[in-house]
Structure 1
């Protein structure tokens, strides 16, 4: 996981005087750390490659194991341990690094509900997660998987719909996971599943109320104008 410290072990209990430990990274096999007791070399090459390991590498002077601190996705890849001494041996590590997962968000989808023939008795929901990669987004009913969608790209937005009955008493949850972690959001039907029809009715009621006020005001203005005209007409008649 991004931000973790990862140790690549040599499986040695100690390094002998004639042993040399060399750590390499990537397809280019760039040297990133070395121990050579005979030549008194104990080094990490922080600037290789392109400075991505700066201030992140630590060597165990007893075993030669390599620790990468505050790891990020740019440190993923192949690491090779080469041990030279009485005999030559090597060991390869394939390191995958995953970004930390956000908590998925469950929201009401009124657009789907309003177009559904069963909208009067069902509730349309959508679970979503943004800027995620190498993850699976799933809906569960209790412990049973209902549906899921996976993506291998980086920084993409995912959404997964679900339709439930308003009176449904089952437990639903939306889970976002990768191979090493997960985040879960539980569904509160009572809180989220207000009928969209009610929202539309309230909206229409508000518009109707405004229209009534406007009409009433216009009628008042017209009545006032008529009264003014009548008074002026009476005055004009009296004057004549």
Structure 2
């Protein structure tokens, strides 16, 4: 009798632990959903800053405004344009992070500390359909946020690298635009190396969300067929 009671106790503890893991993951999903909701504003901020950069660059190169300066000064003035998208990306990221930090998490911990009955109640009251939708939309928003962020980093790297290469070739060869489109590929490589760790983390988190989605569906099915 005691052994059976101990076995039941272990099972109940395992269920409480699993529910705690589930609630923590759903808290993370809630943060991803904030990213999804903020994505349009984030993208608008970043894309607007990039468009302003491109327009300003075209204007300066086609209007002859820079002709009044020597080559070194032109390079410096062109480099200052990078501040525009850099400010846009920084503002966008800070905006998203501020929204994420505003998300309330862990409110379930006090209730779950009461043990198995509370864990069972949490599962019973869980809105499964809403949770499935939240996981799907959260994963999509998180992916798109990473895509736009990576694109913005690449554009900034491209202009910064182009400036650095032009300065170098001007000092050594007294010429600019020597490498042509090579800076596009170099900047892409640099961006990938810089964001490699973050990209790997983002990929693993998205896979974890997919796994959670199917685990929740299986758990929902099990709960419908089990009586406590």
Pick the TM interval, shorter chain: under 0.3
Normalized against structure 2, the TM-score is what?
0.24
Q: Which has the higher contact order (CA 8 A, sep 6+)?
A: 2
More helix by share: 2
More strand by share: 1
Structure showing greater Rg: 1
Normalized against structure 1, the TM-score is what?
0.23
